[in-house]
Structure formats: structure tokens, C-alpha cells
Amino acid sequence: MRLDEQLMAFPVPVGEQEMSPRDAMLYALGIGIGIDPVDKGQLQFVYENDLKVFPSMAVVLAGPGFWLKDPGTGVDWIKVLHGEMGMVLHRPIPTEGKLVGQTRIVDVIDKGENRGALIFQERTVTDAAGEKICTLTSTTFARGNGGFGGPAKIAPDPHQLPEREPDGTVDLAMVPQSALIYRLSGDYNPLHADPDIAIAAGFERPILHGLCTFGVACHGLVKAVLNYDSSRLKEMRLRFSAPVYPGETIRVEYWKDGNTISFRALVVERGLVVLNNGCAIVA
């Protein structure tokens, strides 16, 4: 069976989660919110009085786990990379209650022999009553699975950033233990904690989770563009371009065009773009 047929037929596990205020606060701390503990804009996401769930937590809700590791998928899981991530928020994320995540494979694109494949996924997260909370989209780059004979397809073009200078920037410092905090929100990949495994994978030390960097960029936009009124953020998507090391400073550059905010993120210390082709829709 071809890889695309195999994946389309694979029963992706249903994700279930009991959301709690503690989960919301721990997630926010993991992406660096609360680094200024007297900033009331940040405090609303890390303190139980009138607690709000930070919107980018959507990406870790009711996930199916690392299902691509299952031999039944046909995917060389050691060579997979997270390529793109997007979220659409249908309503504010509740601070507590049962959440259910249903994941489906939308498409699989064969890039060719020695060029890998692209796996497009969509996850819908609902509450116990079946009411939609968010829809999540992601693209996985399966580097070891190209040339399986799939039909010729062209991947969608990413969002293009404006060619003018950014309308603004915001710098967010990450603490050295940020990956160790963030992993407690559900991603226990040892690449983000074990120095020996990180070195074996080609990194000088454990790297930050890509979805943590996603959350940091979201924090930058909520802070600089929305003045911490997170309810105005409706959609956000981006492309991952390079890893971040815990303790580095992430600079978010943004362009405002009506309700569309284009953005990218770079590491100040290395001058390296780590998130690109970002687009957010705000109310």
C-alpha cells in the first residue's frame, strides 16, 4: 500500500484531556508569560483570580500523541520534522472540563525520491457537549518517505510577508529552563531535556519545542499588537524555519494591514529567523 493510502486509512487516536486551571497556568509559564510577575497583562494567564487561558494553548489540547511512531503508519518517524502550524479559535478556551480532539489526515504530498513527503493534518477540539473550541492544522515533513509514487501535487504557498520595514518589534527573553517547564504541558520528547540525546541528534544542547516558540510568537503579538486583549486573536499560522535554544531572546517583527497581522520571529543572539511566513487574524 502506498504511503498516502496507508495514512489516510490509519486510525489516528482520539485525544482526551481533563483541562484544569493548573494546566492553563503551567502552559503560560512554559512560554515565558509571567517573567514580569507584576505585569497585569501577563498575570491574568498565570494567576487563578479571573484566570484566562492563553490562546496559543490550543495547539497542545487533546492531542493524539506521537502516533506517527506506530509502524502501521509506514512513516520513518525518526526523520519527521514539524513544518507548519495553524490554529483557528472558535471561542475562548475553558479553564476546566473535558476536551476531545479528533484528528484526520487531510492530504499527503510526495515530494519525490530523497526529497521526503508532506503530511497535512487537521485536529478539531470540542468540549464534552461537542461544542467546537478550536481547529488546528499542521504540516509534518517526513524526510525519509519520498518517492512512494503518490500523485503529483503542489503544496500550498506560504503566507508572504510585506516587503516594507516592520511596523513594530517586540523582544521576549526565554529562561534557560524554559524547555523543561514547557514539556510538562505534554511533549516529553527527550530531545528537549536530555543533553546526550540532543548531541546525538546534531544539536549542541537540548532545543526548545517548536510549539513553545509558536506560543512565544503569539505572546509577542498579544502583547505588542493587542495590548494583552487575547480575546481579539482569531487565527494564527506560521512556518518553522530553525530551532531555538532555551535562554535565547526571541524577537517578533510584525506588519499590520487592517485585521491581518503578518509576522516572523528571529533569535536575537544569532540573528537567525526561526519562524517565518506568519499570519494572524485579529478582531
Annotated active-site residue 167? The verdict is no
**258 contacts: CB under 8 Å, gap ≥ 6:** none
What is the Cα gyration radius of the chain? Answer: 18
CA distance 101 to 124: 6
The C-alpha cell 512513516 sits at 75
Which alpha helices (H) appear in 31-151, and where do they start and end? Answer: 40-43
Phi–psi pair at 45, nearest 5 degrees = -105, -5
C-alpha cell at 37: 510577575
CB-based contact 105:142 (threshold 8 Å): no
Catalytic residue among 23, 110, 187, 219: 187
CA distance 256 to 171: 17
**257 contacts: CB under 8 Å, gap ≥ 6:** 162
Catalytic residue among 4, 23, 110, 192: 192
Question: How many other C-beta atoms are found inside a 10 Å radius of the C-beta of residue 55?
Answer: 25
Annotated active-site residue 192? The verdict is yes
Which of 128, 143, 32 shows the shortest CA–CA distance to 79? Answer: 143
Q: Which residues are catalytically annotated?
A: 187, 192
